[in-house]
Every structure is written in C-alpha cells, then in structure tokens.
Structure 1
Amino acid sequence: MAAGLNNEYMALCLVLMISSFGLCLVSTRAELRRFEQPAKTDGTLSFLVLGDWGRKGAFNQSEVALQMGRIGEKLDIDFVVSTGDNFYDDGLTGEQDKAFEESFTQIYTAKSLQKQWYSVLGNHDYRGNAEAQLSLHLRKIDSRWLCLRSFIVDAELAEIFFVDTTPFVQSYFTDAEGHTYDWRGIGSPRAYIANLIKDLKLALSESSAKWKIVVGHHSIRSIGHHGDTKELVSKLLPILKANKVDFYMNGHDHCLEHIGDAESPIQFLTSGAGSKAWRGDIKKQKTGGLKFFYDGQGFMSVQLTQDAAEIAFYDVSGNVLHRWTTTKLLYSSI
C-alpha cells in the first residue's frame, strides 16, 4: 500500500513539473521525451528554422531577428526551431549568465516570435555549461525557451525528432583543440549514442505522422565549411532512410543550403546563418543533389499541409533566396 502511494505521489510530482513547463508531455514507449504542439485549426503548420545565432545582436543577428519577426507574422508561425550553437563563443557560463537575455530575450522581440522555441545543443554550447541551457531556470526567465538533448515534438501533421549530434563527433573527445567540453549527462559516449539510436529507431518506426522531420546541429550533407559529418553519415543516415524521413534540418555550417539525396527522398536543409557567416569558405568537392547554397546570414521557413511542403530561405533583408515546394504524393513515390 505504501509503495502504491509513493508511486502516486511521484506521478503527481511529475504532472506538476510538466505543468510548470506550460507544455504537455505525452508517454511513449521510447525513452525520448515527447511534447505536443497543436497545429492550426485548418490542420496546417508553419515554423521558422534558425541556427548559430547567439552573439548579443552582433554580426547581423539583430537584423536577421527583425526579418524573422516580419516573416513570422506573415506566415502566422506556430513555433521556432533552433538548430544549435545558441550562444557564442562558449555557450553559457551558468543559469545566471546574462548572455541568455542579451542574445535571446532582448533580440527576438517581435510579436510573431513570442511562440515556443524548440532548441538543441551545438558544439559551441557544449563548450560552456551545457546543463544550464537545459535547466528550468531559463524557462522562468523566458517561457519560450525549451532546450533538451534529444526529444520529440508531436505537431499532429508532423513529428519532429530533435537529436543531440555533438556526442557523435569523435574529434571532440580525442582532439578538442584546446576547448573544454561539458560532457556531464553523457557518460560513455558509445553507450550514449547506442541508446539514442535505439530510441530514435523505435520512435521513427512507430510514427504515423504525415511528415517526419529530424533536427540536429551537425550536417549530414553539406558543401559548407565543415562539410559532411562522417559519424552521422554512417550512424544516423541509414536510420533516416529506413524510416522514410522527409527532411533533415541542421545548423553548424554558417550558411543556407538545400541538398537532395539520389538514393532516397530525404532533403538536407542547413539553416545555420543566424549571425556570423563564412563568405566564400566552402568545400570545393562536388556534392550530388545540390539545389541551393548561400553563405550569408539568414533563416528558413517551413509550411506544411497534408499534401505539400514549402521551404523558403531568406537573407538578412528578408528577400526570398530560394523557394521549393514538393507534394507528399510525389515525395513518397521517389
């Protein structure tokens, strides 16, 4: 009897903790935490994607934020996705670090951007106090903020699977180039990655969403400065192909980029141009399926219906650089 009461008490505490997030956490057989994000009443979904941004407004971050607000209002966005490297150069020093407000709260002030932000950690975030970005304290400062290592957003029309890609990269452990990474919560990287892959496989295989989207910080396919991430090509890409994922979205390379895959319907979309760009700093090798590349600052929008997806890239002035639409019927038949 006492054990039953203890279990009920623990369950109640969990409900209260979830309620403080202002979001609904739904049970799932996979270990990945799941959050519900309602679509619009007409069943459509729209959101912005931004990466590599937190520089206290510098390097055109404020200008990009201004245009995000304008486009966000025009599209009536439901939320914002951050692909990581949220705070430069070395993440946050702790929960009280003023850089959180100086690079986030005080920059993304437009009314249309006062929606939920779903964020993953990038390699620069791991160079600081990574645990700070995951803490409930930041949500008390700004309720829009939700950053976890790996999790799922169930947006009815789409399921978005956020993956912690930094621990996949072996060089961060073997040759940190003078940087110190905060690996608390990771333990054995091999076991961490194995468990994450197992959970992701299960979640993807059980998904019945019309659109499947995976978000990580590091690129799988890119002609940008960093190029392909070999560990993701070998460990993550086969899972995406096997489960008919529609889009893989990432940051890391400070550019806007769209690459198709010759062997599957997956589209690789890089949106890592939230502030400082690397003009002209690209890989010289050819990458099959390249549809668009821009090495200036900007961001991406995604609009989904039952039958179609429209992707658009915008520059720092809000100009449309590349717009691409695909139908779900065509996409599924590739």
Structure 2
Amino acid sequence: MSNDRRTFLRQLLIGGASVTALAACGGQGGSDGGDDLPNDPPKGSPGTDAPPVASEGVTKTESLSFIAIGDMGTGNIGQYHVAEAMRQIIEAQGCDFVLGAGDNIYEDGVTSVDDNGFLESFEYPYQNLDVPFYMCLGNHDCASTIFGGGSDNQRGDYQVDYHYSDKKYSTKWRMPARFYKESFGQLAQEKPFLDLFVVDSNPLTSFYTDHDERFNWQNYGYPQQLWMKESVKESRAHWKIAMSHVPYLSNGKHGNAGNLDEGMRQIFTNPDADGQRYKLFLEEAFSDKVDMLVTGHDHSMQWIKPVDSMGPAHILVSGAGGKTDKFQDPERNPTYYQAENELGFVWVHLTEERMLLEFYLVNEETGEFRLGYSREENKPVSIQEFEPA
C-alpha cells in the first residue's frame, strides 16, 4: 500500500465519525492480500477450499473449519509446540483458516513493517502451516512497554501494513485493516456461509491513555462501534462470528468487560481501563446477532455459556497459544469447559445447522497434545431471524 494512499485513508478517519470515513481502519477485507479498498465487495472464500460462486445455480458450501488461537506471539518453544499440534490436527481433520485473537507479537509489537518480530513471532513458528491467519490486534501489539498497557496504538498500523507488503515472508498474514469484516463460503447468491467481524479492542480498554487523538473515543471508539453495528446489520451471512482480543467475559485474571482488572485499574490513567464502554459496544453491535464471540487476553481456555446480555452467542476465550495463566475466579462465569496452566487452541467445525468445538491442550515442555473437551451444539442464532423482509 502506497504511503500516499495510507495517509489519505488515515486522514479520512481523523476527519469525522461517519461510517464512510473509516476506510483506513475498518471495512471489507481484501481477500487476496492485494491493495483493495476496504469497501470493495467480498471475493468469496479467501484461502479456503470452498467451491467457487456462480452467477446462477450457486455451488453451496457444505461446511467450514477453523482454529481459534490467541496470545501466541512469544517465539518460544511453547508456541512452536502448539503450531506443530495445529499442523497435525489440520492434516487429520482439515482447516480453512485460523483466527488469531491478538497479542500476535510479544512483548511490545513491532516498530516497522520490516521488523524481525513478524518472522520470530509469526512466520517461523507457523512456517509448516499452509492456511491463512485472520489477525486481530491485542494490547501488546499496541504498546511501547513490556507491560502491554496499550499506550502506543500506532504500532498496530504496522501490522496492517504487513498485510499489504510485497516483502512479507509468506501470504498467511491477513489483517486488511485494524477492524474489518471478512466473508467465507456461499450458501446462495449474495449470502455468505460465514461473516467474520474483527474488533480492535485496545483503544477501548487500554491501561494508559494514548495521547494520539486519532485513537480516542470520539475519533476511533465511537466510529468503530457505528461501523460494526452497521456491518452486522447489513450482513446476510448464515453464520456470524465476532473476534476481539479483550474478553467480554472471562474467569481469568483480567475478568469481565465493565470490571476489567479489578483492584488494579485505579493506578491506570485511562478512564476506559475497566472496559465499560467496550462492554456496551459489544452488546450493541453483537447481542442477538452473532453465533460466537472469540477472544483472548487471558492465557487460558474457556467456553463460557451464553448470557442474556449477549443473546445466544457462545463466548470463547482462547488465549493459550504461547503463554499460560491460572484462573482468578473459576466460578465467575458458568462454562461448558475451562482449562488453566496449559497451552492450547480450539478447532471449530461448522455445518449449516450445527457447530462442533474441540479444545486441544498442549504440553509446554514436551509438545504432547490431547483432546481436552468436545461438544456439538445447534446453530445458536435462528436461521430466519435476520433474513431481509
């Protein structure tokens, strides 16, 4: 992406809060890694084995599979062990793409599109995986300190730039914008099998105030919320999945949105550190509209049961791709399954009517892995509920 185009798009973001002014940070993702404007129409199933779409008699996508993983970018032996376990599951069971739920490059992101962090924390660990990774920004991706407080949001722009770079090591990295929508598969003409909505949670939950006004609530948080609500509303996809880094609900140390990092946030300078506006953002954009919310941030594995405030959506925390944690309060939110102090990832298989989730746990020292939990559920959101009249 040229510097002139990038500057132009970012100036649009600064200029106002309208949906069309958000092309620099949110929009349709270019599916071939090219220099597509974010408002270009979706191009079918980027990086998947789904059949091509015809103008008449559309070839129907029967199923899609993906892996959800977060907080992986350590470059340590544990990340390599998880990558190898993923490779074996992909080989045995199939996988169309990976969802990377943030903290892609520890501890403080990258400082240019040519930063070695892309190699050490992403390209080398996953070099044996031949699937695209759809990435989300985490707090450590937007920080200038090892504490990951999120005080330097501009660093996230370099991860978007890497998507467009003609010098990148592979074509796996997919982050066409800081927040975006991507479509996969097809059920009927103009009806994708799946729409993915990727949120940039960091400016909405940072410990420290970022003095770059491009990332304050007025110029970034609220416009992102407007864009996300409109995109979900307009989506005709059969399945809808949202991904963000900071959890909506979690039994880990960071806790639930609206009360994030309880007992610690009084020492931080950002009034949004507790995530209250972020909580309302997620509810307004996704409640009763998405089937699943995928997050990271807490370094554990959790499948949290649906709650009234988010409707029927199943809530996943998959933040054990490179680090592990203990639960702070394992009873805080009811779960189908949860696991602490072990690395891991979630494999998800979607058909038209059903979803199967399998949680895999990986030994950090030996790389041995096992199936920790498996459960199949009906599609959470009614198929007819959001069809146009």
Which TM-score applies when normalising by structure 2? 0.70
Amino acid at match of 1:158: L
Distance in 2, matches of 1:138 and 1:320, equals 38
Amino acid at match of 2:92: K
For the residue of structure 2 that corresponds to 1:107, the secondary structure is: coil
Q: Shift in Å at residue 297 of structure 1?
A: 0.5
Would you say 1:324 and 2:375 are equivalent positions?
A: yes
- Give the Cα separation in 1 of the matches to 2:250 and 2:127: 31
1:34 deviates by 5.4
For residues 38-63 of structure 1, the C-alpha deviation after alignment (integer angstroms, 9 at most, x for no partner) is 552453111111111111233x1111
Match of 1:178 in 2: none
Q: Does 1:186 align with 2:190?
A: no
Partners of 1:262 and 1:289 within 8 A in 2: no
Cross-structure match for 1:274: 321
Task: Give the corresponding residue for 1:37.
Answer: 45
Aligned counterpart, 1:290: 335
Task: Name the CA shift for 1:256/1:34 in 2 (closer, same or farther; >3 Å).
Answer: farther
Aligned Cα RMSD in Å?
A: 2.6
The equivalent position to 1:46 in structure 2, one of 65, 71, 75, is 65
**1:119 paired residue among 135, 139, 157:** 135
Deviations 1:149-189 (A, max 9, x none): 1011101311010010111115331xxxxxxx6x7683433
2:347 is aligned with 1:301: yes
Asked if 2 retains the 8 angstrom alpha-carbon contact of 1:21 and 1:139, the reply is no
Unaligned runs of 5+ residues in structure 1 are: 1-17, 174-180
1:140 to 168, 186, 202: 168
Please state whether the residue corresponding to 1:134 is helix, strand or coil: helix
Q: What is the CA distance between 1:142 and its match in structure 2?
A: 2.0
What CA distance in whole angstroms lies between the structure 2 residues aligned with 1:318 and 1:255? Answer: 15
Which residue of structure 2 lines up, in the alignment, with residue 158 of structure 1?
194
Distance 2:307 2:165 in 1: 44
Equivalent residue in structure 1 for 2:282, among 236, 240, 244:
236
Report the Cα distance in structure 2 between the residues aligned to 1:303 and 1:142, rounded to whole angstroms: 26
How far is 1:325 from its partner?
A: 1.0
One-letter amino acid of the counterpart of residue 84, structure 2: L
SS in 2 for 1:49: strand
Aligned residues between the structures: 298
Per-residue CA deviations over 1:114-152 (Å, capped at 9, x if unaligned) read 221110110000015322211123763321112231011
Cross-structure match for 2:54: none
Tell me how far apart the structure 2 counterparts of residues 188 and 62 of structure 1 sit (CA, whole Å).
36
Structure 2: gaps spanning 5 or more residues:
1-29, 52-60, 145-154, 185-191, 259-274, 363-367
How far residue 99 of structure 1 moved from its aligned partner, in angstroms, is 2.0
DSSP-derived class of the 1:204 partner: helix
Give the deviation of 1:205 after TM superposition. Answer: 0.9
- What is the DSSP-based 3-state SS (H/G/I as helix, E as strand, rest coil) of the residue aligned with 2:317? strand
Tell me if structure 1 keeps the 8 A contact 2:63–2:352.
yes
